[in-house]
Structure 1
């Protein structure tokens, strides 16, 4: 399930347990989307909507190594030879911006 946020609220995504402000206009998914729809903070989004589309999302700099690797694995992002935190963040940011890693 995907949802478009109608009203900003504090929450955390399924893949990142760190609470942050979920911004109006973001497309969210999973349990967060279910709760937000139930609370009236969001409405169901079309299946072709893209999750985590906010330019400042996710906050890779606030994630630890385990979270970064889990994020990449869940999205089938190849980290290549990146092993250091900064290298992994660079790969994820490049993928998010549409560049080749």
Structure 2
């Protein structure tokens, strides 16, 4: 399954969660237009065929240390501490990580 297909399946699965909106639901074409949101905050998106997730910094640190991905930098050269871009070769399943991101972002104030 291609990364866009995996992301579409993930979006379908998470679409029934409270507060979740699917890519394109907010209109616009800029940053985050193709992102999953909870309460209008981005928690997951597909960027250049890689899943990008917002997770707590210690969780991102652990996943990076284990070789499952890198800190995401939004092409600005400064890695963001709470954003992870999964490696295309990782064996980490997308769904549990996306649920973690959803729960984390839904709880952020």
How high is the TM-score relative to the length of structure 2? 0.30
Larger radius of gyration: 1
